[in-house]
Amino acid sequence: MDFRVHADQEALQQGIRSFCEGRIAIDQLRELEEKDAFDRGLWNQLAEMGIFQLRLPETAGGLGLGCADAVLVFEELGRSLAPGPLVWSHLAAPWVDGAGTGEVVVGGLDLIGAAPQPILIEHWAHLDVLLLLRPEGVFRVDPKALEARPIATPLDPLTPVHHVESLPPGERLAEAAVAHRLWLEGAALVSGQLLGIAEAALELALDYAKKREQFGRAIGSFQAIQHLCADMFVRQEVARAGAYAAGATLDHPEVGDLERAVGSGKITAGDAAMKNARACIQIHGGMGYTWEVPAHYFLKRTWVLESIFGTGDEHAARIAERVESGT
Amino acid sequence: MDLRYSESDEKFRAELRAWLREAVASHGSPPPHHDWPARHAYDTGWQRKLYDAGYAGIHWPREYGGRDASPTEQLVYYEEIARANAPYVGINFVGLLHGGPTLIVEGTPEQKRRHVPYILRGEQTWCQGFSEPEAGSDLASLRARAERDGDDYVVNGHKMWTSYAQVADYCELLVRTDPDAPKHKGITWLIMPMDLPGIEIRPLKTIAGEGEFSELFLENVRIPVENRVGAENDGWRVTNVTLRFERGAAFASEMYQLREHLAEIKAVAGRVTRHDATAWDDAALRREVGHLQAELDALWAMVKLSVSEASETGVPGVGSAAVKLFYTELAQRISDVAMRVLGRAGLSRSDVAELPNGRFLEKMLMSLNLTIAAGTSQIQRNIISERILGLPRHR
Ligand SMILES: Cc1cc2nc3c(=O)[nH]c(=O)nc-3n(C[C@H](O)[C@H](O)[C@H](O)COP(=O)(O)OP(=O)(O)OC[C@H]3O[C@@H](n4cnc5c(N)ncnc54)[C@H](O)[C@@H]3O)c2cc1C
**Per residue in A89-118, pLDDT tens?**
999 999 999 999 999 999 999 999 866 789
Q: Which of B88, B113, B139 is the last residue of a domain?
A: B88
Phi and psi of B153, rounded to 5°? -100, 135
Q: Whose CA is nearest to atom 40 of ligand 1?
A: B379
Here the CATH number for the domain that contains residue B297 is 1.20.140.10
Residues B146 and B209 in one domain: yes
Query: Looking at residue B249, what is its pLDDT?
Result: 63
Catalytic residue chosen out of the listed positions B246, B288, B312, B362: B246
Radius of gyration of chain B (CA): 22
CA dihedral A21, A27, A28, A29 (to 10 degrees): 90
Residues B296 and B381 in one domain: yes
What domains are defined for chain A? 180-325 (1.20.140.10)
Active site residue B80: no
Which residue in A230, A245, A327 is closest to B385 by CB distance? A230
Residues B228 and B252 in one domain: no
Residues B221 and B262 in one domain: no
Domain membership flag for residue B258: yes
Question: Which stretches in chain B have pLDDT values below 70?
Answer: 248-250, 312-319, 394-395
Domain membership flag for residue B382: yes
Query: Looking at residue B314, what is its pLDDT?
Result: 55
Which residue in B283, B293, B326 is closest to A234 by CB distance? B326
Instruction: Calculate mean pLDDT across residues A281-288.
Output: 98
Residues B75 and B132 in one domain: no
Q: Which residues of A touch B1 (CB under 8 A)?
A: 3-6, 9, 68-69, 72, 244, 247-248
Residues B133 and B13 in one domain: no
Residues 211-240 of A with CB under 8 A from B: 217-218, 220-223, 225-227, 229-231, 233-234, 237-240
Domain membership flag for residue B97: no
Q: Which domain holds residue B27?
A: 7-88
Question: Amino acid identity of A112?
Answer: I
Query: Looking at residue B272, what is its pLDDT?
Result: 95
Whether residues A241 and B311 touch (CB distance < 8 A) is answered with no
Domain membership flag for residue B107: no
Residues B293 and B362 in one domain: yes
CA distance A11 to A257: 29
CA distance A298 to A81: 8
Q: Residue B97: is it exposed, middle or buried by C-beta count within 10 angstroms (0-12/13-18/19+)?
A: buried
Residues B253 and B384 in one domain: yes
CA distance A207 to A226: 12
Residues B215 and B255 in one domain: no
Q: Could you give the number of structural domains in chain B?
A: 3
CA distance A306 to A187: 10
Q: For CA atoms B353, B355, B359, B362, give the dihedral sign.
A: negative
CA distance A108 to A129: 8
Nearest partner of B31 among B44, B18, B22, judged by Cα: B44
Domain membership flag for residue B69: yes
Chain B nearest C-alpha distance from A132 (Å): 27
Residues B173 and B262 in one domain: no
pTM of the model: 0.96
Domain membership flag for residue B105: no
Predicted confidence (pLDDT) at residue A144 exceeds the cutoff of 50: yes
- Give A232's pLDDT tier (boundaries 50, 70, 90): very high
CA distance B259 to B280: 17
Domain membership flag for residue B315: yes
Q: Which of B68, B88, B108 is the last residue of a domain?
A: B88
Residue A86 near residue A51, CB atoms below 8 Å: yes
Residue B296 near residue B302, CB atoms below 8 Å: no
Query: Please, where are the H alpha helices in A218-283?
Result: 223-251, 258-283
Residues B153 and B199 in one domain: yes
Q: Which of B198, B232, B266 is the last residue of a domain?
A: B232
Query: Looking at residue B393, what is its pLDDT?
Result: 86
Here the CATH number for the domain that contains residue B202 is 2.40.110.10
A200–chain B Cβ distance below 8 A for any pair: no
CA distance A79 to A75: 6
Nearest partner of B334 among B376, B377, B285, B394, judged by Cα: B285
Residues B351 and B321 in one domain: yes
Domain membership flag for residue B116: no
Q: Are strands A129-134 and A106-110 parallel, antiparallel or unpaired?
A: parallel
Query: Looking at residue B318, what is its pLDDT?
Result: 42
Cis peptide before A118 (omega within 30 of 0): yes
Question: Which DSSP string do the residues of A275-314 spell out, in sequence order?
Answer: HHHHHHHHHTGGGGGSSSSTHHHHHHHHHHHHTSSS-HHH
